[in-house]
Amino acid sequence: MKATSSSNSKNEKVIRELYQAAEVKDIKRFVSLFTDDGYFYDVSAGVKYYGNDIGKTVEIYAKAFPDMHRELLEVYVKDDENVVVVELTLNGTNKGPLALPVGKIPATNKAMSDPCCDVFHLENGKVKAFHCYTAATILLGQLGVLENLDAVLEK
């Protein structure tokens, strides 16, 4: 994680701890950083995860990209509103199936470096809402999935 900060923000520290838990695939710790009614919204997939299911978000990417690394580029903190926004890239090699709401993409053995923006709302030192905006078309393009669009495109 590259983005450095001299911020004393408690909210930023919680978010950095959340990313660290994801990096080391500590699902229990990751989920524990959410409020009881908190959620993770994978915007590109159109799916919200609550409770222990929040951990599935880390599991899905860990299975598909065992060497997954999140490179934090910029961290923006608005403490008076309990909001943290992070620009990052999701990096790794697709060595396992990538589970999507419509099915699974088998391993492609291709590398990805997917731009992403995460928006967090915090409450009492925990994540209340995590909206993850991945660039799904870039990700799918890097995996070679979009090369098969000729079958469905009208010309």
The CATH code of the domain that includes 57 is 3.10.450.50
Beta strands (DSSP E) in the chain are: 34-42, 47-50, 69-78, 83-93, 98-100, 103-105, 111-123, 126-134
- Separation between Cα atoms, residue 23 and residue 148, nearest integer Å: 32
Q: Which domain holds residue 53?
A: 10-145
Q: Answer whether residue 151 is part of any domain.
A: no
Q: Which two tokens stand for residue 27?
A: 């699902």
The 10s digit of each residue's pLDDT in 73-116 is 999 999 999 999 999 999 999 999 999 888 899 999 999 999 99
Residue 115 domain-assigned? yes
What contacts 47, CB < 8 A, 6 or more positions away?
Answer: 41, 101
Instruction: Tell me whether residue 154 is in a domain.
Output: no
* Count of structural domains, the chain: 1
Q: What is the pLDDT of residues 2-53, one digit of tens each?
A: 454 556 799 999 999 999 999 999 999 999 999 999 999 999 999 999 999 9
The answer to whether residue 35 is domain-embedded is yes
* Domain annotation covers residue 153: no
Which uninterrupted H or E stretch holds 31? helix 27-32
Confirm whether 1 is domain-assigned: no
Query: Is the full-model pTM beyond 0.75?
Result: yes
